[in-house]
Chains A and B, each alone.
Chain A
Amino acid sequence: MELTAEQQSVLDGSRGPYLAKCMRWLVEWGGVMGAGRLIPVTNTHALFPVANVMARGASRHTLEQQAADLREACSHATAPGCVCTVHTLFLTMDELDTPENDPEQVRAQREINALAAEAGFLNTFTCAPYLVGNVPLKGEICAWTESSAVVYANSILGARTTRHGTESAMAASLLGLVPEFGVLLDEHRKGTLRIEVSADLDSPTDWGALGYFAGNRAGLGIPVFHGVRRPSQDEAKQLCAALATSGGVSMCHIAGVTPEAPTLEAAFHGDVPAEYLSFTDETLRGMYRALRNPTGEEIDTVILGCPHASIHEIAEIAALLKGRRIAAHVRLWVDAARATRASADAMGYTAIIEAAGGRILCDTCPTNMRMPARRIVTPGFKQAHYARGMIGAEVIVAETRPCIEAAVAGRWLGDE
């Protein structure tokens, strides 16, 4: 990869050993992925959670080393002019003194958060930064972690980001540079798999089913959806999250919706393949079946807001819960960004959800917290997929309304 004199000098240590290491990561990563140069980045979504319960049982040395690396990273200022938001944590800052949390790790996370704020990071603690003000423009070069948000940024907003991890997003935030490869370049944004959709997609969860199907088939490629109507923001969020769960997708095209794909032809850069996969009503039903493995009807947990809920989703949940009471043995958690909860507080939605016995969980999600649960109902394909292994729970993926009905009844009542 070709470096400017200034970039080379950072690599050689002119701005200290940590930024030299960051530069080395970007240069090596870019070299491996076929980048020819580093280009400026104006928008990042970084990740710096201490491992805490996510790595329950890890040695003291592991926990301390991981926290020390994050502390060092957050001790450097973010690049001038770069908007840097922050991904979720593995705990909620609302409730730190719990038996599950490791007090040393809590202390480390507080310290890292303070350092990060000082460094210029916006501590949004969300997996859906586009819901809380980080909305990059078409063509904007970004460096985002969170697989679902990467797909959303590329496919719905038309911004450009490769799939970033902790280290690369941190390096990009501090240096203001990313290696130019993959979907940052026009030629790598061409569709690779055509999917003709005949199924009726009636809800965000239905769109999640489409994503769960397509991600698995597309792998690291770019699926193109044809024959669908324009999704709502909540539906697009579910589609993108599921694509990046069953696959390693960086982006998709929805013909007529994705900013650079007004038509099927445009999505394939003029080269539309004759072969395609069909997504029918039967395929749709099969996706729901794939993420339903209950051995009984009784449920103990309802998880809403994966990815983090929009204010619109919270309004909908509050409307369904108003004046009702969740079954005593059921936890109902709505995961959301702190900024979204502040809006929900102001609108009275938080009070309605709490009066019904639910709560709005900020900064994290139950999967990140590895919250014990036996049987979970959720509208999120991503949550349902990962909760099976991370939490060891049985799951039922369903639209929001039947999830709420199950919460009130304390058992799964079916889809109607």
Chain B
Amino acid sequence: MSEPVTVKGRGVVGGCAEGEALVADAMLSFWGEVDPVQGTVIAVGHPLEGCCLRGRVLVIRSTKGSSATPMVLGLAKLEGNAPVAFVNLEVDSLAALGCIVNSIPMITDLERSPFEFIRTGDRVRVDADRGIVEVTARG
């Protein structure tokens, strides 16, 4: 197991969570591109197509698309399929709202681009209260 890397950022929605990273330098809409019951990305041709969001730390550029994103995130959470935290490059108002109403920690403005040092499968701890992500590379 390698040493964890800690990077500072700005906590957007408070809270702490830990999970395996799911990473794509892309945008994602929850309505229309995520099935809240399967917990999977259903957008054809999306880099995360077929991936399951359940328990993951979702590292993406930002959300996009539908205004039903907070609602679908809420349905995914009720089904136990929501990501445990968001690490975003930019803050879309809909991701922020979705994280607030569903109590999901969110962090942005990391000192380094998350796509440079977080890979899918890495263990990530998000402390949005202190504005810190801690990444342990997968074995």
Contacts and interface: CB of A to CB of B under 8 A. Distances in A.
Interface of A: 25, 28-29, 32-33, 47, 51, 55-59, 61-62, 65-66, 144-147, 150, 162-168, 181-182, 215, 219-220, 244-248, 250, 293, 367, 385-386, 388-390, 392
B15 to A, nearest CB: 12
Contacts, number: 124
Given A33-B91, A33-B93, A165 B67 contact: yes
Interface residues of B, number: 37
Contact of A55 (B36, B90, B94): B36
Contacts of B29: 245
Given A25-B101, A29-B100, A220-B92, A165 B43 contact: no
A353 to B, nearest CB: 27
Contacts of B91: 32-33
B62 A219 contact: yes
Interface in B37-55: 37-38, 42-44
B32 A55 contact: no
B106 to A, nearest CB: 8
Contact of A58 (B27, B37, B93, B100): B37
Contacts of B43: 388-389
Leading 8 A-B pairs by shortest Cβ distance: A165-B70, A389-B42, A248-B64, A386-B32, A62-B78, A388-B44, A145-B67, A57-B37
Nearest to A293: B44
Among A25, A220, A247, A389, which residue has the most Cβ atoms of chain B within 10 A?
A389
Interface of B: 12-13, 27, 29, 32-33, 36-38, 42-44, 61-71, 74-75, 78-79, 90-94, 96-98, 100-101
Nearest to A146: B67
A281 B70 CA distance: 37
B26 to A, nearest CB: 10
Contact of B101 (A167, A182, A247, A390): A167
B78 A29 contact: no
Contacts of A29: 93, 96-97, 100
A64 to B, nearest CB: 10
A150 B68 CA distance: 13
